[in-house]
A and B are shown apart, each in its own frame.
Chain A
Amino acid sequence: GAVVSQHPSWVICKSGTSVKIECRSLDFQATTMFWYRQFPKQSLMLMATSNEGSKATYEQGVEKDKFLINHASLTLSTLTVTSAHPEDSSFYICSAVAGGFASPLHFGNGTRLTVT
């Protein structure tokens, strides 16, 4: 149980275009999902907390107009990288909590974004 599906697993786009990444909880409802960014051989950096039915909470230094998050239902959160630039190339991972706060996180398999 507690499966999180993330799509696409990889995407290549040109500079200036926008890319949407989906994160779905398949067998549970997730009122809260998290979006992380990970650079090679580094840890996960929390970008934002996505709350169903309300605005996302962004971490300091993360541009909310650049990384648009929509949590329209209890099973789906999307991250849109707008006007992508090569420096946005990274590994993006979402996670969701099936229980209360401090319960284990369940992760998607990540999306490798390459901006050319």
Chain B
Amino acid sequence: SQQGEEDPQALSIQEGENATMNCSYKTSINNLQWYRQNSGRGLVHLILIRSNEREKHSGRLRVTLDTSKKSSSLLITASRAADTASYFCATDGSFKTIFGAGTRLFVKA
């Protein structure tokens, strides 16, 4: 079974709004990563947060990690139409990366 579960499954917002996606996982981790996938393409790595970190920023992205709740969130601020994609969290376990179910984000221009 997949390690990470994300919600919402789908999110539709207006350009300029913020988008928040959540990820929950089941077992202990060393780090958690977020990836983006445009339709029909491979995944692009966005950000990695280690288990001893609580928050990390990269441009318009903000990731939080709560290891006590086994959850993480990805916030995209000031969204753009080009942010339309699927976003996946991924955790390391048993020497392999396991992906969550993903959130499909649609940003309306």
Contacts and interface: CB of A to CB of B under 8 A. Distances in A.
B40 A112 contact: yes
A105 to B, nearest CB: 6
A105 B104 contact: no
Contacts of B95: 49, 101
B42 A109 contact: yes
Q: Is the interface of A mostly helix, strand, loop or mixed?
A: strand
B48 A104 contact: yes
Contacts of B44: 107
A19 interface: no
B99 interface: yes
B45 A104 contact: yes
Given A49-B96, A102-B31, A43 B88 contact: yes
A42 interface: yes
Interface string A81-94: 00000000001010
Contacts, number: 52
Contacts of B31: 102
A108 B33 CA distance: 18
Q: Is the interface of B mostly helix, strand, loop or mixed?
A: strand
B40 A110 contact: yes
A44 B90 CA distance: 10
Nearest to A103: B48
B43 A107 contact: yes
Given A42-B101, A43-B2, A105 B43 contact: yes
Nearest to A2: B45
Contacts of B35: 105
A49 B95 CA distance: 10
Given A43-B99, A43-B100, A102 B30 contact: yes
Interface of B: 2, 30-31, 33, 35, 40-45, 48, 88, 90, 92, 95-102, 104
14 contacts: A43-B88, A44-B99, A46-B98, A49-B95, A93-B42, A95-B42, A95-B43, A105-B33, A105-B43, A105-B45, A105-B90, A110-B40, A110-B41, A112-B40
